[in-house]
Amino acid sequence: MRTVIELLGEPKGKGRHKSRMFRPKDGRHPFIGQYPDPKTKHYETLLRDQAAEVWGDRPLLDEPLLVRITAQHSIPRSWSLKKQAQALAGIVKPTGKPDCDNLAKVKDALKGVVWRDDALVVGLLVWKVYSERPLLRIEIEPFARTVSQAAQHSDPSTLPLFAEILQGAPA
């Protein structure tokens, strides 16, 4: 069974941890402490809440998984109509921030909500596209089910959702 989680709004990647100097008032030596980026923490909370709503009270997934993350970015209004049309057609791609690896890291928010651990993700595909409706879309499917479906298809164009991963998956 494929699960789809969508979080409306401009997609955000995982930000870097922040650091600051702490100067204890009790006379101990100052030290540098780290804390999560507040914007990332807020975004992951929104994603976790949305995932909990979609997932409901089903048990956590505990099997190999394939995940596809699609970041649908808004098209800059300052662009010409021609360039906006090219963006919608997929000719112009979003090459700015956030980058794909930071978008992939937001899957950490689903630990304990949808799956037991993100180490269960054995295949991951991240896409950045332009759209009139900005959102982050995460699709999750058990690996075994997808492989068995793929084996039933002789025409590659009819392969399941994660065909891009399966075609490059090691045997």
CA angle 25, 26, 32 (to 5 degrees): 60
* Cβ proximity of 84 and 21 under 8 Å: no
Label residue 98 exposed, middle or buried (CB < 10 Å: 0-12, 13-18, 19+).
buried
Task: Name the residue range of residue 103's domain.
Answer: 3-168
What residues contact residue 158 under an 8 Å CB cut-off, 6+ apart?
none
Q: The domain that contains 35 carries what CATH number?
A: 3.30.1330.70
Render each residue's pLDDT in the chain as its tens digit; 171 residues: 789 999 999 998 877 777 888 888 888 888 888 877 778 788 899 999 999 999 999 999 999 999 999 999 999 999 999 999 999 988 999 999 999 999 999 999 999 999 999 999 988 899 999 999 999 999 999 887 655 555 555 554 444 555 555 554 433
Q: What is the pTM of this model?
A: 0.78
Q: How many domains does the chain have?
A: 1
